[in-house]
Structure 1
Amino acid sequence: MYSKGPKPQIIMVAAFDGWNDADQCATDVIRQLVSHYPSVEVGHINRDGYYDYQVSRPIQCSIQGFRRILWPQTTFYDISISDTLHILAQLGPEPNYGWLEYCRESLRLAEEFEVTHIYTLGAMFADCPHTRPLPLEITVEGNGADQSVEYSGPIGIPHVLDAAADEEGFDTTSIWVSVPKYLGNDLCPQGTLQLMETLNQQIDFKLDLGDLPRKAEQWRARASLLTQNNPELEHFVSELEHEYDMNERAKAIAASGSPAVQQLVSEAESFLRDYPHDKE
């Protein structure tokens, strides 16, 4: 499978269409990697038993004049990043059924490829401003990591795969980005860019970002134009900006142990006094 010489490190990166993939930010990371590096399909998870076809519908298309039906399925790619690094990429719709068996199938392939670390990617909608770096959450498990999982609530297949991988002894890292809910379901290259940049930091390797920085800049420009033409939305975004900046200042103060906490509290109280509340 690999050229002569030392065997490359193999990591697994997984992303899933659907509930876990706001604006396709996570799955576009896999598509970016597949399109920019030599890639080979090395495995699939069969469709039967995992998908509700009224939710994840098959697609009909014409290939050289012949009808083809493409069924929902998960595809694994061996992506050759360098002589020292390969990525086993998992891409497919979130399954509707059989999540535990689906995860077991995924991990069997990870074991076959001797994967050293599993990274799951996700994206969610949130109230966050497009004019600031998008919020990121990183959870590391295994490898001696002692990081409590504070989130409580509904989860998707990336969380279940993380938990199953951790039980099987894999080191795992979960990376999630939040994207502005007020912009709707358009693609968000800024989210994909930040996921890739964070993945770069985690694996200590500079992956090819392609034209993502340019697309992200265009996305921010379009979003700013949209808000400028909508006074209510512009006001809403300014409130999100203020809240974001306050949170960032609070983090900086907490990290530095600065005595300026009282000043921050005063600013927060002033903001709350000026915040418009709906009258009953």
Structure 2
Amino acid sequence: MSDEQLSESEGSSCASEGSSRAERFAAHLREDAGSAAGRPTVMVIAFEGWNDAGGAASSAVRALGSAFDAELVGRLEDEDYYDYQFTRPRTRSTESHREIVWPATKLYRTSVTDAELDLLLVTGVEPSFRWQAFTADILTRAAEQEVAGIVLVGALLADVPHSRPIPASLSAQDPALADLLDVDEPSYEGPTGIVGVLAHTAYQAGIPAVSLWAAVPHYVGQAPSPKAQLRLMRELEDLLGVSLDVEEVAEEADAWERGVDDLAKEDSDIAEYVQRLEEATDTSELPQASGEAIAREFERYLRRRRPPE
């Protein structure tokens, strides 16, 4: 390698090290798609059901769509995918008539002016049947919309205290992408949901895919779970390079935490259990206190201060 090539390589490496996770992700997607200057489209997916403790994941993705006025561009409502005794259709009244709303997975598209990515958001109920066909259907829609990468969002019940920062984890099955984003490769073994199936299938198809999960305290796992939703929204900000208005969700998270505090005070067994979880959390290393977490928080601050074009 010549001195000039070595210098260029070192400069590229330094630039990568100094860039944010969102910039590295967008650059990787452009390179993988063979378009250095274009805006890659990222599909962000969350499903209600087994993958969505406290409704945190689906709420976070819907908030993303609301923030950027995403428009409906498609839907999957094949009745072969759903058990209507488990996921029942709903009746709804309009100004002129009543209608039946059938379970469906909906696709919304939006372009974020200040980000380096366009978004294709997928929300719905986890299908009951024909998962392989459903997965193929989702990836076919991804190809039609020229999706360059996928982010799968989930929430799980865990032994974590409600009074501490909600843990969140990012992972990528592709070792090169995991290394680039400084995230883990998945290590979980056991039963999985449609989110896990989609993540694996996307990897097999050569589509860059990142999984994002938040842990919801299992003793208050019912929906809503605004504190977990808030954590997922902040992680999506960092990964996608977008800025979200989280003030309302943050207020709801504070109220939720105070409400759980009051419930714990009324039950000595729960109060003692929460105290043990807090002690276990406080004695372990908190990723929220790392230098990288502080840097991400500063990046969010700068994005919110960015003047409109």
TM-score by length of 2: 0.75
Of stretches 207-216 and 221-230 in structure 1, the one that deviates more from structure 2 is 207-216
The answer to whether residue 66 in structure 2 is matched with residue 66 in structure 1 is: no
Q: In structure 2, what is the equivalent of residue 198 of structure 1?
A: 235
The answer to whether residue 186 in structure 2 is matched with residue 149 in structure 1 is: yes
Q: In structure 1, what is the equivalent of residue 51 of structure 2?
A: 20
SS at match of 2:160: coil
CA gap 1:94/1:249 in 2 versus in 1, 3 angstroms: closer
**Structure with the higher fraction of residues in helix conformation:** 2
Cα distance in 2, alignment partners of residues 117 and 184 from structure 1: 30
Cα distance in 2, alignment partners of residues 54 and 70 from structure 1: 14
CA gap 1:186/1:24 in 2 versus in 1, 3 angstroms: closer
Q: Which runs of 5+ in 2 are unaligned?
A: 1-36, 179-183, 290-309
Cα distance in 2, alignment partners of residues 95 and 33 from structure 1: 22
Contact 1:47/1:71 (<8 A) preserved: no
Cα distance in 1, alignment partners of residues 123 and 221 from structure 2: 23
Query: Match for 1:54 among 66, 72, 85?
Result: 85
- 1:169 aligned partner, one-letter code: G
**Structure with the higher fraction of residues in strand conformation:** 1
Query: Match for 1:92 among 110, 120, 124?
Result: 124
Q: Could you tell me the percent identity over the aligned residues?
A: 34
Q: 1:163 Cα deviation (Å)? A: 0.8
Q: In structure 1, what is the equivalent of residue 65 of structure 2?
A: 34
Contact 2:117/2:240 (<8 A) preserved: no
CA gap 1:63/1:54 in 2 versus in 1, 3 angstroms: same
The answer to whether residue 221 in structure 2 is matched with residue 189 in structure 1 is: no
CA gap 1:207/1:115 in 2 versus in 1, 3 angstroms: farther
Contact 1:142/1:170 (<8 A) preserved: no
Contact 1:47/1:72 (<8 A) preserved: no
SS at match of 2:195: helix
The answer to whether residue 120 in structure 2 is matched with residue 120 in structure 1 is: no
Q: In structure 1, what is the equivalent of residue 10 of structure 2?
A: none
Query: Match for 1:140 among 161, 169, 172?
Result: 172
Cα distance in 1, alignment partners of residues 209 and 74 from structure 2: 21
Q: 1:203 Cα deviation (Å)? A: 2.2
CA gap 1:57/1:199 in 2 versus in 1, 3 angstroms: same
- 1:21 aligned partner, one-letter code: D
TM-score by length of 1: 0.82
Q: In structure 2, what is the equivalent of residue 273 of structure 1?
A: none
Q: Which runs of 5+ in 1 are unaligned?
A: 1-5, 253-280
CA gap 1:51/1:121 in 2 versus in 1, 3 angstroms: same
Of stretches 41-50 and 206-215 in structure 1, the one that deviates more from structure 2 is 206-215
Query: Match for 1:178 among 192, 212, 215?
Result: 215
Q: 1:186 Cα deviation (Å)? A: 3.4
- 1:27 aligned partner, one-letter code: S
Cα distance in 2, alignment partners of residues 202 and 130 from structure 1: 24
Contact 2:172/2:185 (<8 A) preserved: no
Matched residues, number: 248
Q: 1:34 Cα deviation (Å)? A: 2.2
Q: In structure 1, what is the equivalent of residue 268 of structure 2?
A: 231
Q: In structure 1, what is the equivalent of residue 252 of structure 2?
A: 215
Q: In structure 1, what is the equivalent of residue 284 of structure 2?
A: 247
Q: 1:73 Cα deviation (Å)? A: 0.6
